[in-house]
Amino acid sequence: MLIRVSPQYPIKSSEITSESTYQDRRRFLAQMGLATAGMALAGCSDAKTPPPVAPPSAAGTAATDGAASAELAALDVKTKVNMAGAEKVSSFEDITNYNNFYEFGTGKGEPANYAKKLKTRPWSVAIEGECDAPGMIDLEDLIKPHALEERIYRLRCVEAWSMVIPWVGFPLADLLKRFKPNSKAKFVQFFTLADAEQMPMIKRGVLPYPYREAMRMDEAMHPLAFMVVGLYGKVLPNQNGAPIRLMAPWKYGFKAAKSIVKIKFTETQPETTWNAIGAAEYGFYGNVNPEVDHPRWSQASERRLGELFRKPTLPFNGYPEVAPLYAGMDLRRYY
C-alpha cells in the first residue's frame, strides 16, 4: 500500500495499516469514487460523483437562526462585517451538518454526530519554531486580548460546494504577532488535535494525522486571515473545528485547519496534509481559482448549499484584495 508519510511523521509499527483497515479504506474510496488505478489515496471527494445535495433550507441571517444553536454559549461580538455582499448567509443547519472533519468520519453528516463528545476544555495551544515568545498558551489566554468580530465570509471547498458563513473570531495576524516571529519565520504551520480516543476515524488512517496546514507568513498576516472561535454569534460547534480553527476565505476549505493544538513558525515550506498525499490535486497554496481545474473535476463553478443552481466560482473566492500576495507568480504552477 502506498501512502506517502513525511519522515517528520514516520509510521510506527503500531500504526501500520492492517489488511482489514486497508480493505475498509478501499471500500470507502470506491464509494467516494476515488479509487483510481494506481492511486492509493486521493483527495477530499470527487465532484464527478457529487455528494448528495443537501435539502434546500431557508437561509439564515447572522442575527437569527439561533434556535438550532440554543445550547451553545453566546459570544461577546463587538463588530460585524459582511464580506459576502448580498449573498444569503447559509443556514446554521447546513453549516453544522455538512462538514469535512475526517477525524470524525468521511461522510458529510458524520462529524455532527461523532464530534459531540470532543472535549474542548481545558485546551491549550503550543507555540514553536522561529519566534521569540514560544511556549504553551491556554485557550482562554489566547482569546482574551482580542475583541471578537463577526465576519461573513464565503467558504469554497475544493470539492466544488460552497457556503456563506458568519464566523466569529479575530485577525490571525494579531495573534501571530504576540509570539514575536523572528526574521527566519517565512511560513506558519498549524497542527490539529489527533486523539484516537476521541476521534474514531484516526485509527482508520484515511489521512496521516495530525492534520497539518500552513501558509506563507505574508499570507497569514493578511487582514482577511481569521482565527475562528465561533459562528452565528455562538461558540464554535465541535464539528466546525472547536475550539479554534483557521479561515482564509480566499483559499479552499482544506487550508482551514480545525481544532488547532500547535502553531509553528518555520523557515522552509512545511508539509501540509492534503498536499503531502496528493500534490497534483491539492496545491500548497490552495487558492480558489476557477481557471485551474482539479485533475478530476472543473473548478469553474460551484454548488452553493441551499441553492438550486450552480454559480460561477470567483478568483480568490471573490477576495481580489489578496492578489498582490501572488504578484509575479504563475498561479497555474503555484496552485
Stretch 122-161: interaction string toward ligand MTE, x if CB under 6 A:
---------------------------------x-x----
CB of 89 or CB of 130, closer to ligand MTE = 89
Least distance from C-beta 299 to ligand MTE, angstroms? 14
Residues facing 246 on adjacent strands: 227
CB of 195 or CB of 293, closer to ligand MTE = 195
Question: Is 272 one of the binding residues for ligand MTE (CB under 6 A)?
Answer: no
Least distance from C-beta 112 to ligand MTE, angstroms? 9
Question: Is 257 one of the binding residues for ligand MTE (CB under 6 A)?
Answer: yes
CB of 93 or CB of 103, closer to ligand MTE = 103
The three three-digit cell numbers of residue 70, written as one number? 440554543
Least distance from C-beta 328 to ligand MTE, angstroms? 29
Stretch 218-237: interaction string toward ligand MTE, x if CB under 6 A:
--------------------
Stretch 6-45: interaction string toward ligand MTE, x if CB under 6 A:
--------------------------------------x-
Q: Judged by CB under 6 A, which of 259, 275, 287, 313 binds ligand MTE?
A: 259
Residues 89-108 that bind ligand MTE (CB under 6 A): 99-103
Task: Return the range that interacts with ligand MTE (CB under 6 A); candidates 62-70, 169-177, 251-259, 297-305.
Answer: 251-259
Q: Judged by CB under 6 A, which of 258, 262, 264, 294 binds ligand MTE?
A: 258
CB of 130 or CB of 281, closer to ligand MTE = 281
Counting other chains too, the contacts that 234-237 makes at CB distance below 8 Å and 24 or more residues apart are 234/66, 234/69, 234/72, 234/73, 234/74, 234/75, 234/168, 235/72, 235/73, 235/75, 236/168, 237/69, 237/72, 237/96, 237/112, 237/115
CB of 44 or CB of 322, closer to ligand MTE = 44
The site for ligand MTE (CB under 6 A) is made up of 44, 99-103, 155, 157, 192, 211, 240-241, 253-254, 256-259
